[in-house]
Amino acid sequence: MFKYIRLETKNIAYLFPFIVILLSACSNSTDNTAVDEEILLKEWDSYKENASESEVSIFMWGGDEGINAYMDEFVSPELKEKHNITLNRVAMDTNEILQKLMNEKRANQEEGTIDIIWINGENFLNAKENDLLFGPFTEVLPNYQEYVDTESLDILYDFGTEVEGLEAPWGSVQFVFQYDSAKVSDPPKSFEELSTWVKENPGKFVYPEPSDFTGNAFLQHLLYDQIGGPDKLLENGFDEEFVTNNTDGMWEYLRDIEPFLWRDGETYPASLTELDRLYSQGEIWMTMGYNEARAESFINDGTFPESTKSFVLDSGSIGNTHFLAIPYNSPNKEGALVAINELLSPEAQMTKYDTTYWGESMGIDPEKLSNDNKEKLAAMERGGSVLPANELNEAFLPEVDTQYGGWIREKWLNEVVQTD
Amino acid sequence: MKWFKQTKYVWPLVPAVLFVFIFVGYAIMMALLESITINGQWTLDAYKQLLENQSFRDSILFSLKVTLTSTFISLFIGVVITRWMYYYLRNYWVKVLIWIPMLFPHFVWGYIVILLFSQSGWFSGLLYELGLLEDFTHFPVLTQDQHGIGIISTYIFKEVPFVILIILPVYIQMNHQYKHVVQTLGGSKWEIFKTVEWPTIFPVLSEAGIIIFAFVLSAFEVPFLLGATYPKMVSILSYDWFFQGDWSQRPMAFAAMIIVTSIIVICSIVLFSMTNRLRIRVSKGER
């Protein structure tokens, strides 16, 4: 008998963690809105004071070694030295970060683990609609006020969603195609020429499926081309009837080139990584992606052939801005503000522009820099695979409502894939 | 009822059972709730949409095809290897050799398959160097193909060692004198297998089978790496619906996973009731 009793008490101990979990899920629902508003009313210097010796966790997509190196080798020591902040970078896909926040929101968890997230587009729309973000906070950042072109449309709108101060612009990228100049002498200038090229070189071109961000952007270019530029799409927001009625040619075009694509169009790469792998192994001769300088780091580490060059089509190239935001339940909002402000500083932005690490365009306005910095910027070499700035600027096209992305995905499946 | 009286076996099970009920049970319940509510309203719309959805119907058939093929081939090869080699497999080093694929995660093994068997992979390159292949596009399409060859072969590589791991002890402990009985009575090798080995290994084998079946049907990483654009395995489809766009397709993602869960649960119940009957017969000594 004694033996049984001992076993039972032991088991109550086993149960303890579960009870704690159950109880903690039920409590913890205080309202923090008032505290948040108070934070935003403080003086800038008091943030710096409070942030000192604290830890700031940034959750961000970690699939690019150049970007990771920029964070770990430049930003992290910089924050430590200037503000005594310990930066803790956690690699996670943005949609999963939002899922985590969404779960925390449902469980009424007011103290989370994330202080900064890297975000834009659909993810921002979802975060905004579900009240997952803290703010509006951008107005309190000195560097935002001083260096950001606050009137610019691609900073006021993120893929058609109004930003409303909930995220601060970190950088911007433009969509370019990369090709191997050793194999392709004269890259196409329009979708028509691309189609001719694809037919002359069967199996050497493919785009990622549109569930991938890059594949979706490729199709969006085609959509713009089809209806004569993004203006009509920008005017009315998402208009399903309009695009459905005016895009037969687009799907016709895709069905027409499909038999000449990689693997005879039977399958498409599931991700940009996969497309780049095919390009680096020479299976295909062109790849593509956001960030006009993306090929540089691949050329430097030997993944892409040195003869890699880039091009944009005459009908333009889509560019977008990406942002930094603070979750509603960030445990260190003041630290996050200081860190984001530092990331928007000319120094941090110009190091990011340099191809050593990342090589993408700045989130701040180059015109607002000091003369010294302007000169430095002009002297920076972006590398042989990057198109000249004026050519990129001329080609720049804005993003439209994110719902077009979803429409493209659905429609592509019906019109291109299921017709085989 | 004898089993329940042995309370000392029941109590230590409580944490494990509670763990399953609280975490897995809660997750399934939440998924079920999410699949039958849209904007706070009770509705079966998600299931209706699913059944009308061509991608889903193709996907579930494709998933079942891939899963059943890889499960049965793994079980078959596993049994054949164990039968032939159980004597040698007692040796530590031979065992290690067979179990090497188990050391790699599925994701890594999937990547190995791509690097070796894709059109620009290692084998294609080797054949090209040897002058046996004019161009790598002539190499057969073994990865990211529409028949799931890449997925199936990855799972076979990974699951065969698992099958061996599970049935090896059964073979080693089997009463091999029964075999001699069949032999003396003039039975063939096939009859030895049918009358002596099969009844002993069947319950264990079916357990291994259901584990592989459940895993393959719902796993994500291998089909993500090695699958084609269309049809997709149901886990990929569901992941896409879960994360994409404005989250309006989430009920469908949950409904798809609930359907997959139901398939697995039904298969397990059928198999366990079958093997239970067999176990009872075996324990009563009627073969």
Closest C-alpha to A310, from A342, A331, A279? A279
Domain for residue B2, yes or no?
no
Of residues B89 and B4, which shows the higher confidence score?
B89
More reliable by pLDDT, B285 or B35: B35
- Averaged pLDDT of chain B: 87
Contact at CB, B247 and A268, closer than 8 angstroms: no
pLDDT of residue B138: 84
Please tell me what DSSP assigns to residue A74.
Answer: I
CB A55 within 8 A of CB A335: yes
Chain B CA closest to residue A7: B11
* Nearest CA-CA distance, residue A135 and chain B, Å: 22
A86 touches chain B (CB under 8 A): no
Predicted pLDDT of residue B6? 58
Task: Choose the weakest-confidence range: A30-34, A231-235, B156-160, B275-279.
Answer: A30-34
Identity of the residue in B18, B137, B228 whose CB atom sits nearest the CB atom of A15:
B18
In a domain, B115, yes or no: yes
pLDDT for position A34: 67
Beta carbons within 10 angstroms of residue B3's beta carbon: 7
Q: Which residues have CB under 8 Å from B176's CB, separation 6+? A: none
CA angle A132, A135, A137 (to 5 degrees): 140
Q: Which amino acid is at B132?
A: L
List all residues 6 or more positions away from B237 whose beta carbon is below 8 Å from its beta carbon. B55, B56, B59, B256
For the domain A35-173+320-388, what is the CATH superfamily, name and number?
Periplasmic binding protein-like II (3.40.190.10)
Per the CB < 8 A criterion, the answer to whether A350 and A135 are in contact is no
CB A50 within 8 A of CB A132: no
Distance (Å, whole) CA B54 – CA B83: 43
When CB atoms are compared, the residue of A11, A126, A211 closest to B240 is A211
Chain B contact set for A96 (CB, 8 A): 243
Beta partners for B142?
none
Cβ atoms < 10 Å from Cβ of A293:
23
- The arithmetic mean of pLDDT across residues A8-29, rounded, is 46
pTM for the predicted model, two decimal places: 0.78
Residue B211 forms part of a structural domain: yes
Q: Does A105 touch chain B (CB under 8 A)?
A: no
Q: CA-CA distance, B60 to B264, in Å (whole number)?
A: 13
Which pLDDT score, from 0 to 100, does residue B5 have?
Answer: 57
Give the model's pLDDT for residue A369.
92
Q: Beta-strand (E) ranges in A40-123?
A: 55-60, 86-91, 116-119
Task: Give the total number of structural domains in chain B.
Answer: 1
Nearest to A178 by CA among A280, A248, A271, A76: A280
Per-residue model confidence as pLDDT tens digits over A332-365: 999 999 999 999 999 999 999 988 888 888 999 9
Q: Summarize pLDDT for A312-333 with one digit per residue, the tens.
A: 999 999 998 999 999 999 999 9
- Domain range for residue B278? 13-284
Query: Could you say which of B11, B144, B224 has the minimum Cβ distance to residue A11?
Result: B11
- Contacts with B187 (C-beta within 8 Å, 6 or more apart), sequence order: B195
The Cα–Cα gap between A366 and A37 comes to 32
Q: Please indicate, yes or no, if residue B3 is contained in any of the structural domains.
A: no
CA distance A166 to chain B (A): 18
Query: Residue A257: enclosing H or E segment and its boundaries?
Result: helix A248-257
Task: Say what percent of chain B tops pLDDT 70.
Answer: 94
The predicted structure's pLDDT at residue A284 = 95
Q: Is 50 exceeded by the pLDDT of residue A366?
A: yes
B262 to chain A, closest Cα gap in Å: 25
Q: What percent of chain A has pLDDT over 70?
A: 92
Tell me whether residue B93 is in a domain: yes
Half-sphere exposure of residue A181, counting CA atoms within 13 Å on the CB side? 9
Question: Using 50, 70 and 90 to split pLDDT, how confident is the model at A20?
Answer: very low
Closest by Cα among B109, B224, B242 to A273: B224
Token pair of A231 as six digits:
């203006």
- Examine domains A35-173+320-388 and A174-318+397-417 and report if their fold is the same: yes
> What does the pLDDT average to over A234-246?
86
Upstream peptide bond of B231 is cis (omega within 30 degrees of 0) = yes
- The answer to whether residue B4 is domain-embedded is no
Q: Any idea where the domains of chain A sit in the sequence?
A: 35-173+320-388, 174-318+397-417
> Is B264 a member of any domain?
yes
Q: pLDDT digits over A384-401, tens only?
A: 889 988 888 889 898 888
Between CA A131 and CA A12 the distance in angstroms is 40
Q: What does the alpha-carbon distance between residue A96 and residue A123 come to, in Å, rounded to a whole number? A: 10
For residue A28, pLDDT over 80 is answered with: no
Greatest mean pLDDT range, A220-224, B95-99, B174-178: A220-224
Tens digit of each residue's pLDDT (9 = 90 or more) over B246-267? 778 889 999 999 999 999 999 9
Indicate whether A3 pLDDT > 50: no
pLDDT at A1 over 70: no
- Model confidence at B176, pLDDT cuts 50, 70, 90, reads confident
Say how many Å lie between the first and final Cα of chain A, rounded: 72
Q: What is the 3-state secondary structure (H, E, C) of chain B?
A: CHHHHCHHHHHHHHHHHHHHHHHHHHHHHHHHHHHHEECCEECCHHHHHHHHCHHHHHHHHHHHHHHHHHHHHHHHHHHHHHHHHCCHHHCHHHHHHHHHHHHCCHHHHHHHHHHHHCCCCHHHHHHHHCCCCCCHHHCCCCCCCCCCHHHHHHHHHHHHHHHHHHHHHHHHHCCCHHHHHHHHCCCCHHHHHHHHHHHHHHHHHHHHHHHHHHHHHHCCHHHHHHCCCCCCCHHHHHHHHHHCCCCCCHHHHHHHHHHHHHHHHHHHHHHHHHHHHHHHHHHHCCC
| Chain B residue closest in CA terms to A417 | B230
Q: How far apart are CA A351 and CA A343, in angstroms?
A: 10
Is the pLDDT score of A26 beyond 50? no
What's the pLDDT at B8? 67
User: How far A347 CA lies from chain B's nearest CA (Å)?
Assistant: 35
Residue of B nearest to A419 (CA): B230
Going by pLDDT thresholds of 50, 70 and 90, the confidence category of residue B3 is: low
Number of Cβ within a 10 Å radius of residue A23: 10
What is the rounded distance in angstroms from the CA atom of residue B182 to the CA atom of residue B191? 8
- DSSP per-residue string spanning A171-210: EEEEEEEEEETTT-SS--SSHHHHHHHHHHSTTS-----T
CATH number of the domain where residue B61 is located: 1.10.3720.10
Amino acid B223: pLDDT: 94
Q: Does A6 touch chain B (CB under 8 A)?
A: no
Q: Cα(A106)–Cα(A110) distance, rounded to whole angstroms?
A: 10
pLDDT higher than 80, residue A12 = no
Question: Is there a contact between B120 and A18 if contact means CB atoms under 8 Å apart?
Answer: no
- Helix axis angle, A403-412 relative to A248-257, nearest 10°? 50
The architecture of the domain spanning A174-318+397-417 is 3-Layer(aba) Sandwich (3.40)
Cβ of A390: how many Cβ atoms within 10 Å? 8
In a domain, B24, yes or no: yes
Position A27 scores a pLDDT of: 44
Listed residue (B201, B174, B195, B261) closest to B75, CA to CA: B201
Element (H, E) at A286: strand A286-290
Rounded distance, CA B204 to CA B90, Å? 19
pLDDT of the residue at B282: 65
| pLDDT 10s digits, B11-43 | 888 888 888 889 999 999 989 998 998 777 888
Task: For residue A117, list its beta bridge partners.
Answer: A59, A325
Share of chain B above pLDDT 90, in %: 43
pLDDT of residue A390: 83
More confident position, A177 or A26 = A177
Closest CB to A209 among B55, B225, B229: B229
